[in-house]
Structure formats: structure tokens, C-alpha cells
Amino acid sequence: MKKVIVGMSGGVDSSVAAIILMNQGYQVEGLFMRNWDAMVNGDVLGNPSLNNSICPQEEDYNDALAVCQKLGIKLHRIDFVKEYWDNVFVYFLDELKKGRTPNPDIMCNKYIKFDYFIREAKKLGADYIATGHYARIIDGQLSRSIDKNKDQTYFLSQLTKEQLKNVLFPIGDLEKSEVRKIASEYGLITAKKKDSTGICFIGERNFKNFLKNYLPNKNGDIIDISSMKKVGTHIGLMYYTIGQRRGLDIGGTRDRMFVVGKNLKDNILYVAEGEDNKFLISDSCFLEMVNFNTDLRPNKLTAKFRYRQDDYPVTLEYLDNGEIKVNYNNIKSVTPGQACVFYLGSKCIGGGIVREVCKDNKKIWYLL
């Protein structure tokens, strides 16, 4: 009997992943990863859970334990707090300092869930590891899940071919509603549990208060890039991303204002009127940290730059320095620090991190 170690998060998806694997005849054990310590990491501001008797990480562990006890499987527990800090959270803070828009969930998958977790699972004698991600492996290739609204291949785009070996995604063939139905049928405590949101393993926070623990606020001017006149004051460039329109606190404008750029040197936030203003549009970008999970190197494919964004047709240019230039037809709000994820139909073949954004073969000067 093949042994599978399931990453048990305390949520409904990993709970049902374990059920499916048991029903398929695997020997199943769970492994709970503790990746964040709110008290040790100084996470006091913006963390209302610290006013409660138990923090969210311990609540999740208790839920994972209850599920495993209900299913009659063993639950192991491992502490990756330092590894998460060094490989994910420091990256997150460094990117914010650069004025970029990072995606820590992608790095968490790359360095924690499919690296340190796999190492620990092998110590436990695992033939396979499994998670509750909405994704599939079809003929050895990472592919989109059946539930297109929940598909999480975007967050798995930095995984290598080696990391995806002997990985199972048991719920990739199910809709979310089916997952909850199975959990209810088994009487699991996680059946109606709210999906986790916020930063990976850190959870929901008052983002502004949370970041005050690690990065100092520095107010600055909000400039209308069309007139170059000051229209407001921002509370720190790290709190804003390209295309954002909520939370700008700008009054008296003729139309909705959108963030279109940042000047890190002078601490300026640039805005412009209208959702379709020209300052939000680019036609190419350069990628760093490029990863492919296949030997294929296509020139024409589709890509997405945000998780719930539609796919866009793109053309790739492979540069001698290992970077890739991505050419496309006028896409809004492509942002340095974001992931550009590659697809061939239903297959997710990798991606990279946006380093520089261009229009008409010129770097957009107000995007730093």
C-alpha cells in the first residue's frame, strides 16, 4: 500500500483530499505546518485574534487534529516558522520596500509547501505528498482544476518539474460545492469553515496596521499624472498597487481616480482619472525568476498577470541573460513584482515575476 502524507491546513479542502485518498486505497497520514508565530514575530497590531484565548494557527491545528481523529489517521506537526520568515516573509517585505506588488503565496508554495514539506514527508516514508489545491496533474503536467473559479495553478507556477513529481491534487476534479458536500457527509468540523484569505499562513489582518510592525510609514504626495498637480496625501507607497482605486481618499475629482505609478525616490504616488486611462496600459514586460515545469519553450501561448484575471494571448522572446520579454496587445495594470503565469490551453507550464513594464518599447518611467 502506497503511503501519502497530506498537508492538513485545518480547512475543508485538505480534509476532503484526505478522504478521497483513503477511499482510493492509500495509507494516509496528515502533516500540519506551523509557519507563523504571531507573538515571536511581533505581530501585535492588526491581529485581533491576539485578544482571544487562542491564535488562528492553533485553531487551524485543532481543526486539522479533529478531522484526522474523525477519519482515524495520524497527524504529524512540524514547525517551519524560521523557514517561512527567511524564504517568504523577508521576500515579501523586500519587494514592498522596492515599491513592487509581491505575491507571497507563490513563494510559500515554492519554498515551504513543496520543498520543506516534501523533505519532511519523505522522512515519514511518503511515496506521495498531497495538498488541497484546486489543480490537477494530467499526464505528468500541471493542469487547471475542474472548478475554474477556484483553480490555483497560478499560485503553483514557480514549482519545478522535480517538485511536481509524486504530488497528488485529489480535489482537482471537484467543484467547491462538491468538496463541502463530502465534508458534510463525513460530519467534519471543517465542512462549513470559511475559506482562508489574506497572506499565506498569516491570514486576515488589518493590512496597514500589520505592516507597521515591519515597515515604517512615510506619507507623501499623490500627484495627478495628467496635470502633475497634487491631489492628496498617501500613507506609504507600500499600501498601494497599480490599478487600485479604493482607499485613495481623494475628493472633488471628475471621475474615478486610479493608481498608475510610484516614484520611490521622491515618495510620490501617481494617479489618473478613468478606468481606461492610457497610463494603465502597457504592451510588453520583462520577467525575472523565470520557471518552466516542462521542456517546452513555446513562443505563443496565453498568460495571466493576476489570479482571477482572464488569460491573454502573448508572445515570448527568450533573452540571452535568461530573462523573458512578454509581448501582448495593451493590457491594463501590469505591475512590477506580480507573477506572469504561462498556459497552453489547460496546462500551466510555469511563469516568472514582472521586473519591468513597457509601452512602445520604452520603460514606463513612473513605474519603479
CATH number where 24 lies: 3.40.50.620
* pLDDT tens figures, 66-84: 999 999 999 999 999 999 9
C-alpha span between 94 and 91 (Å, rounded) = 5
- Note whether 174 and 251 are same-domain residues: no
Asked whether residue 15 carries a pLDDT value surpassing 90, the answer given is yes
Residues 36 and 14 in one domain: yes
Average pLDDT over residues 112-140: 97
Share of the chain above pLDDT 90, in %: 81
pLDDT score of 228 more than 90: yes
Q: How many CB atoms sit inside 10 A of residue 122's CB? A: 13
Cβ-based neighbour number of residue 342 at 10 Å: 28
**Domain range for residue 16?**
3-207
DSSP characters over 105-118: HHHHIIIIIIIIHH
Same domain, 319 and 349: yes
| CA–CA dist 103, 91 (Å, integer) | 9
In this prediction, residues 93-107 reach a mean pLDDT of 95
* Shared domain check, 332 and 226: no
**Coil, helix or strand at residue 271:** strand
Name the active-site residue from 108, 285, 340, 348: 108
Q: Which of 254, 273, 292 is the last residue of a domain?
A: 273
Answer yes or no: do 231 and 189 share one domain: no
Same domain, 185 and 74: yes
Establish if 368 belongs to a structural domain.
no
Residue 340: active-site member: no
Check residue 316 and report its DSSP letter. E
Domain boundary, last residue among 207, 240, 264 = 207
Residue 337 in any domain: the answer is yes
For residue range 162-218, list pLDDT tens digits in order. Answer: 999 999 999 999 999 999 999 999 999 999 998 876 566 565 556 778 888 899 889
Beta-carbon contacts of 52 under 8 Å, excluding residues fewer than 6 positions away, are: none
108 is known as an active-site residue? yes
Whether residue 237 sits in one domain with residue 136: no
CATH number for position 315? 2.40.30.10
Residue of 49, 146, 156, 160 whose CA lies nearest to 103: 156
Average pLDDT over residues 114-132: 98
Report the CATH number that the domain containing residue 259 is assigned in CATH.
2.30.30.280
Whether residue 26 is predicted with pLDDT greater than 70 in this model: the reply is: yes
Kindly name the residue from 200, 285, 348, 358 that is annotated as catalytic: 200
For residue 244, tell me if it sits in a domain.
yes
Are residue 240 and residue 170 in the same domain, yes or no?
no
What was the pLDDT predicted at 39? 58
User: Does residue 348 have a pLDDT over 90?
Assistant: yes
CA angle, residues 98, 92, 365, in degrees to nearest 5: 25
Q: Are residues 194 and 309 in the same domain?
A: no
pLDDT at 45 over 90: no
Same domain? For 129 and 231 the reply is no
Contact 146, 171 (CB under 8 A): no
Instruction: Please report the pLDDT score of residue 256 as a whole number.
Output: 85
Answer yes or no: pTM beyond 0.75: yes
Question: What is the 8-class DSSP label of residue 83?
Answer: H
Question: In the listed set 227, 242, 273, which residue is the last one of a domain according to the structure?
Answer: 273
Residues 30 and 125 in one domain: yes
Provide the domain count of the chain. 3
Of 61-75, 167-181, 240-254, 354-368, the least confident:
240-254
Q: Do residues 135 and 9 share a domain?
A: yes
Share of the chain above pLDDT 70, in %: 91
Residues in the chain: 368
Q: Which 8-state DSSP code applies to residue 232?
A: E
pLDDT band at residue 368 using 50, 70 and 90 as cut-offs: confident
pLDDT number for residue 63:
96
- Hunting for cell 489517521 — which residue is that? 73
